[in-house]
Amino acid sequence: MLSMKAKYALRALCALSASEGGLVPARVLATAASVPEKFLEAILVELRNAGFVLSKRGLLGGHSLARAPDTIRIGDIIRCIDGPIAPLRCASLTAYSPCEDCADPAQCAIRALMAEVRVAISSVLDHCSLAELAERAQNKRLPLLL
């Protein structure tokens, strides 16, 4: 399940995408993305540390995307904020942890099903760029209902 923090990150990055490279102050970005400013500031630090956002302090400072929105994948953003996409740790590729009550993870039907779910979700998220998501939100073709 997508956290509120990840939803806010996606909203903020879509708003930055619309700024076409200009610096956007956190207050303006918070309003554009409908995100509480204090919460957004913490999210922006994570996004900056992960290489999605550039930040400049000062009176003329603000935030911008670190790279073109068509090169940023939604799955990467979600992993940055929420961690692995797998619905269960035992189905994760990067944070695998066996269930305590599972006798044989290799034969577990639940784990196999959750691995299929992980693959399906990752496929959708990893094939959608920030540019595509921002376009959907901007054109209201498919509203950003996060």
Reading the chain (146 residues) residue by residue, the pLDDT tens digits are 789 999 999 999 999 998 877 899 999 999 988 999 999 999 999 999 999 999 998 888 899 999 999 999 999 999 999 999 988 889 988 889 888 898 898 999 999 999 999 999 999 999 999 999 998 887 764 444 44
Task: Note whether 45 and 107 are same-domain residues.
Answer: no
Which range of residues forms the domain containing residue 48? 1-72+129-146
105 burial class (0-12, 13-18, 19+ CB within 10 angstroms)? Answer: middle
Residues 124, 135, single domain; the answer is: no
36 and 56 share one domain: yes
* Calpha distance 91→118 (Å, rounded): 7
What is the radius of gyration, based on Cα positions, of the chain?
17
**Are residues 65 and 19 both part of a single domain?**
yes
8 A C-beta contact, residue 64 and residue 19: yes
Instruction: Quote the pTM value.
Output: 0.86
The helices-and-strands tally (H runs, E runs) of the chain is: 6, 2
Shared domain check, 67 and 4: yes
Give me the pLDDT at residue 144, please: 47
Domain count, the chain: 2
